[in-house]
Amino acid sequence: MTTTNIDKIVIKGAPAKYDASELARRQQQYQVAYKQTSQSCDMVRGGHPKQFLQAVIDHAAMGYTLTDYTVSLDPAAYSTLMRRSEAMQEADLNRINNEVRDAYRAELEADRAKYQSLLLEQLLQAEEQKQVKAAASAKEKLLARLQKEVADCYAPLVFPEA
């Protein structure tokens, strides 16, 4: 008879639940990163000085502002980063907030699905163990009944003493 060693599935903890403050913290973190990096900027380029200066003027007219990033004045490759207008940044931040919300939701759903899967495996394992025990118990009862039946079929062995 072989025995199998199956690790019992044990679920620890519970799936994470929606937390408005956690969502706000994550959104704030991404907003700060957006505002403090070049994500809130666009590159303005020009092949020669006049073209470059006109591009800067055109972007300024659309609400862009100059930044502290370096201006490249390499011949035929003039460029600088200009910060988007407040309205453009607001639209970007709304998009970022939605992306962070969607990512947080997907993370919570994945965690919940993981726990559901573990619970299903745990319940299945428990049911299989019950069935194995019931089958073993039924086999033992059958064996005991058959041994009694066999013993009843034959008279005890009579062997004379020497």
pLDDT in tens, 31-76: 999 999 999 999 999 999 999 999 999 999 999 999 999 999 988 8
| Of 95, 111, 105, nearest in space to 19 by CA | 105
What residue ranges in 71-112 does DSSP mark as E strands? Answer: 72-74, 77-83
User: What pLDDT sits at residue 5?
Assistant: 58
Cβ-proximal residues to 49 (8 Å cutoff; 6+ apart), any chain: 78
pLDDT tens readout for residues 111-155: 999 999 999 999 999 999 999 999 999 999 999 999 988 888 887
- Asked if residues 80 and 72 have their Cβ atoms less than 8 Å apart, the reply is yes
What backbone torsions phi and psi does residue 77 show, to the nearest 5 degrees? -150, 55
Question: Rounded mean pLDDT of the chain?
Answer: 92
> Are β-strands 41-46 and 65-66 bridged in parallel, bridged antiparallel, or unpaired?
unpaired
Where does residue 134 rank: exposed (0-12), middle (13-18), buried (19+ CB within 10 A)? exposed
Judged against a pLDDT cut of 70, whether residue 2 lies above it is answered with no
Q: pTM of whole model > 0.85?
A: no
pLDDT tens readout for residues 10-34: 888 889 999 999 999 999 999 999 9
First to last CA, the chain: 41
